[in-house]
């Protein structure tokens, strides 16, 4: 069957790829483009480990057909650090040990960044509800929530 030719932008770079209709965005990111930061935890929208943003909106890449990336701007975990310079959320996750096995971490980071980009001053309840689509079986969530709350406070401080 003829492959589909898709033009898109990933982490600011124009990217073209060929895919079959049934391929998900997650499969193409990981298996074809070498962007293995996004993880497959479930493949059914339940865990959030595959979270990316499309035109700034947080989505599950496992529920998106790769062909639907045509003409859109995607951001993945690979676009979060600036060279060697970690994003404040990444630094804080390390500092507070907000991860153990790390499978869920890229998804939590992408989701947390999407939250802080739109709401720099979230309440703890807002953070917990926003991250309800991201599952973690190691940390018990508290450290993750604390990391996001602290980064939000730090970023407001710096912005002042």
Partner 1 sequence: MHTFILERPRDLAAALAFHAQAGRNDAPAEYIAGGTDMVQLLQEHVRRPERLVSLAGLLDGHIEAGPQGLRLGAAATMADVAVHPAVVEQFPVISEALLNSASPQVRNQATMGGNLLQRTRCPYFRDVGYAACNKRSPGSGCSAIDGENRWHAVVGTSDDCIAANPSDLAVALVALEAGVELRGAGGQRFVPLIDFHRLPGNTPHIESVLEPGEVIAAITVPASSTARRSHYLKVRDRASFEFAVVSAAVALDMDGGRIRAARVALGGVGTKPWRVPKVEAALAGGSLDPAVLRRAAALAAEGAQGRGHNDFKIELMQRAIVRAIETAGARA
Q: Which residues bind partner 1 (CB under 8 A)?
A: 1, 4, 20-24, 43-46, 48, 51, 57-60, 62-65, 67-68, 70, 111, 129-130, 132-134
Q: What is the closest distance, in whole angstroms, from the C-beta atom of residue 157 to ligand FES in the complex?
A: 28
Q: Does 142 bind ligand FAD (CB under 6 A)?
A: no
d(CA 93, CA 116): 15
- Number of C-beta neighbours around residue 15 at 10 A: 15
Which residue stretch of 13-21, 46-54, 77-85, 122-130 sits at the interface with ligand FES (rule: CB under 6 A)?
A: 46-54
In angstroms, give the least distance from the CB of 133 to ligand FAD.
7
By CB under 6 A, residue 50 contacts ligand FES: yes
Name the residue among 32, 38, 1, 2 with its Cα closest to residue 17: 32
Residue 86 in contact with ligand FES, rule: CB under 6 A: no
In angstroms, what is the minimal distance from the CB of 14 to partner 1?
20
Candidate list 46, 55, 117, 142; residue touching ligand FAD; CB under 6 A: 46
Closest CB to ligand FAD: residue number: 45
Residue (46 or 124) nearer to ligand FAD, CB: 46
46 versus 55: smaller Cβ distance to ligand FAD: 46
């Amino acid at each position: 069957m003829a492959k589909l030719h898709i033009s898109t932008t990933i982490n600011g770079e124009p990217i073209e790829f060929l895919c079959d209709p049934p391929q998900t965005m997650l499969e193409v990111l990981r298996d074809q483009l070498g962007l293995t930061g996004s993880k497959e935890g479930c493949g059914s929208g339940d865990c959030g480990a595959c979270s990316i943003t499309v035109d700034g909106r947080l989505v599950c890449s496992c529920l998106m057909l790769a062909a639907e990336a045509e003409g859109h701007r995607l951001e993945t975990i690979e676009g979060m650090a600036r060279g060697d310079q970690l994003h404040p959320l990444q630094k804080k996750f390390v500092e507070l040990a907000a991860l153990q096995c790390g499978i869920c971490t890229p998804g939590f980071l992408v989701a947390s960044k999407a939250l802080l980009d739109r709401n720099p001053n979230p309440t703890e309840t807002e953070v917990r509800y926003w991250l309800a689509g991201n599952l973690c079986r190691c940390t018990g969530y508290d450290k993750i929530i604390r990391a996001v709350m602290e980064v939000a406070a730090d970023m407001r401080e710096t912005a002042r």
